Amino acid sequence: MVAYFGMFLIIGIAVILGVMLTGLSGIIGPKRPQEEKYMAYESGMDPVGTAQERFSVKFYMIAMLFILFDIEVVFMYPWAVQYKELLKFGWFPFLEMLTFIVILFVGYIYVYKKGGLDWD
Amino acid sequence: MNFNPGDIVNFSVMVAPILFLLAVGLMLMLMDVLKAHSSMPLIAGLGLIGAGVLAVLPEKISSMQAFYGMIEVGNIAPLNIVFLCLSGVFTIFFLPDYLKRQDKPIYEVYTLLIFAIIGMIMMANASDLLITFIGLETFSIALYVFAALFKKEETSNEAGLKYFLLGAFASAFLLLGISLLYGLTGYTNLNDIAANASKLTDNPALFFTSIGLFIIGFLFKVSAFPFHNWTPDVYSGTPTPLAGFMATGSKMAAFIALGTVLIKLNFTQYDKLVNVLALAAILSMIYGNVVAVRQKNLKRLLAYSSIAHTGYVLLGLCAGKAGFVAVIFYMFIYTIMNIGAFGLVGIAERTLADTDMDKWKGLGIKAPYFAAAMSLFLFSMAGIPPFAGFMSKYQVFIAAIGSGQILLAVIGILTSVIAAFYYIYLIVIMYFGKNESPEVSPRFDWTTGLGVGLLAVLILLLGIFPSLVLQPLLQYMSGSISAVAAAF
């Protein structure tokens, strides 16, 4: 437990600081209420309607597909950075990445043809 | 780390079938979008057979590792790959006709089936607990989609949601068990964990917690007693041939994976673990068989009977290494007869538009072939001698008695008597029930007929010559002492 003393200290200070700063600014800060200040923040747009709406499943589809191809790039970065090093294994690293891309490309064709990327 | 490409992809018996199936699965995806729908079942079936052939092609493999020891080709691997592929092939016989008559042209089924079987092969042959988990999730996600396949139907939606939510819980249990095992030993690799078994027993409370959570995850997947509640609802909502696949292929993979892990950890030396499994076995056998007696819906009846069959397999698993051959043999035979039974119920569901038992009155006269095939599968499930179901039950009972679990075997035999009642009651209904209202008789096309014929022949053949499967199984398992060997 003694070994974790520093960690508990950090947690304690963080909690105290957070509570103190927000609390103090709430108590002694100046208050000039305006309607705009109390509106939900929507990147400068006026919020319209309630948040409990039904969203189209299309949003989730796009988000899911984005993550899929995002991950593809995440895997390709270290491969590309290290490619010169990997060259000593001959064609193997290249073929590995090619296999990976082909698998994802088949998936892409499937999504495209099934209309997963159509918005309407 | 010293890098050597050959270590990663060891084109051994293990990796070749997986890669082949992956290629087949990708091809099926392309065929789906290119509207080449009619030949998809054929390609999927041939692909599965090809993967099975690739698995048994190498002569004799003692032990080989791939992907840095994450997948291991143990003695039994080639055969379990073949069995898992065959469960897919049997299912494909019933699918095209079923989907056509339900008027639901869903061709993703074949792709998903292939990917599910890849997951099962991975899980069954994993020697790293993380691969076990990834394999389990791979096939589970395919099975969730199968359960909710008819997305406009309420029962199918209910089945999908129930299976998904409960399956997610079970996965969480499994993963917590794996993480505790990792915490105890510092390894996720099974061989490393087994080599550091002393670290496990240093902290018995944590060890039994971790392995208990691990077992819970698998008991859910095989629908053993305390974790069985989803089974009837899910099976009755799932498209029937796929429910058959769910009840056989996935359970076979789960049993092989669970058995492999437990045997590597040498679980028979811990009485508590054996007792837990034995208790689950006893309760599954009693509960499944007793509740099935009252069922009028055939899909629910088969679901409860599958809970009972899980109990029999667990009984074999309690016997440890000696019972493992019996477990795999039982699951293979069960795969044949259960996919057959579910397939026939699927046929009746289409043409009689009902899975209600009373609608089956008089089918023995109106549809003699149909009723004869159904009777054969039911007799086999009840364990009547000339059929394969008897041999598989015999093997697990012998294994249980051989390991000193006399009480378990006695309860198993007693509950089989209850099981025989409801299986034979359905046969009585088909042959001696009076049918007042004229109904259409079940019709099926040639693929389904071929499938039913093949499964029926296999049941008879393996009932008379069980050594056709047992002999190779024992050969591949050679080195292990088996109670089964003593019986022959």
Size of chain B, expressed as the number of residues it contains: 488
Answer whether B32 touches A (CB < 8 Å). Answer: yes
* Beta strands, E only, B11-84: 64-66, 71-73
Any A CB within 8 A of B7 CB:
no
Neighbours of B137 (CB within 10 A): 17
Nearest CB among B22, B26, B33 relative to A113 is that of: B33
> Which of B26, B106, B112 to mutate against chain A (most A CBs within 10 Å)?
B26
Contact A110 B22 (CB under 8 A): no
pLDDT at B291: 92
User: Burial letters for B409-422: b for 16+ Cβ neighbours within 10 Å, e otherwise?
Assistant: bebbeebbebbbeb
Distances (CA, A) of B120 to B141, B308, B374, B437: 12, 22, 28, 45
- Is the pLDDT at B486 greater than 70, yes or no? no
Give the separation between CA B318 and CA B310, rounded to whole angstroms. 12
Nearest to B218 by CA among B209, B207, B227, B210: B227
Tell me if chain A has a CB within 8 Å of the CB of B105: no
Sign of the dihedral through C-alpha B276, B281, B286, B289? positive
Other CB atoms within 10 A of residue A6 CB: 9
Give percent of chain B above pLDDT 90. 45
Residue with tokens 């304690």: A12
**pLDDT exceeds cutoff 90 at B112:** yes
User: Tokens in use for B237?
Assistant: 């909502």
Residues of B in contact with A113 (CB under 8 A): 33-34
Best CA proximity match to B323, nearest among B380, B263, B366, B275: B263
User: Distance from A7 to chain B by nearest Cα, in Å?
Assistant: 21
Tell me how close the Cα of B4 comes to any Cα of chain A, in angstroms.
Answer: 8
Q: In chain B, what are the domain boundaries?
A: 5-487
Distance from C-alpha of B136 to C-alpha of B344, rounded to nearest angstrom? 28
Q: What is the C-alpha separation between B315 and B322, in angstroms, rounded?
A: 12
Q: Does B30 touch chain A (CB under 8 A)?
A: yes
With an 8 Å Cβ cutoff, are A110 and B29 in contact?
A: yes
Please tell me whether residue B250 adopts helix, strand or coil conformation. helix
Provide the pLDDT for residue B445. Answer: 81
With contacts defined as CB-CB under 8 Å, which chain B residues touch A106? Answer: 26, 29-30
pTM: 0.86
Model pLDDT for residues B443-468, shown as the tens digit of each residue? 778 888 899 999 999 999 998 888 88
Spatial distance between the Cα atoms of B115 and B118, rounded to a whole number of angstroms: 5
Partners of residue B128 on adjacent β-strands: B189
Q: Which residue from B5, B22, B26 is facing A92, i.e. has the nearest CB? A: B5
Residue B482: its pLDDT value, please? 39
Residues of B in contact with A103 (CB under 8 A): 22, 26
Q: Does B446 touch chain A (CB under 8 A)?
A: no
Is the four-CA dihedral B288, B289, B290, B292 of positive or negative sign?
positive
Query: How distant is the Cα of A89 from the closest Cα of chain B, in angstroms?
Result: 7
What average pLDDT does range B431-440 have in this prediction?
69
Confidence of residue B141 (pLDDT cuts 50, 70, 90): very high
Query: Tell me, what's the pLDDT at B481?
Result: 37
Is any Cβ of chain A less than 8 angstroms from the Cβ of B26? yes
List, for residues B250-302, the tens digit of each pLDDT value. Answer: 999 999 999 988 988 888 888 888 999 999 999 999 999 999 998 888 889 99
- Residue in the block written with tokens 């091809």: B27
Can you tell me the distance from the alpha carbon of B231 to that of A41, in angstroms, rounded to the nearest whole number? 47
Q: Which of A95, A110, A105 is nearest to A72 (CA)?
A: A105
CB pairs A-B closer than 8 Å: 20
Name, of A56-70, B11-25, B78-92, the range with top average pLDDT.
B78-92
Give me the count of residues in chain A. Answer: 120
The reply to whether residue A109 touches residue B3, judged by beta carbons under 8 angstroms, is no
ipTM: 0.78
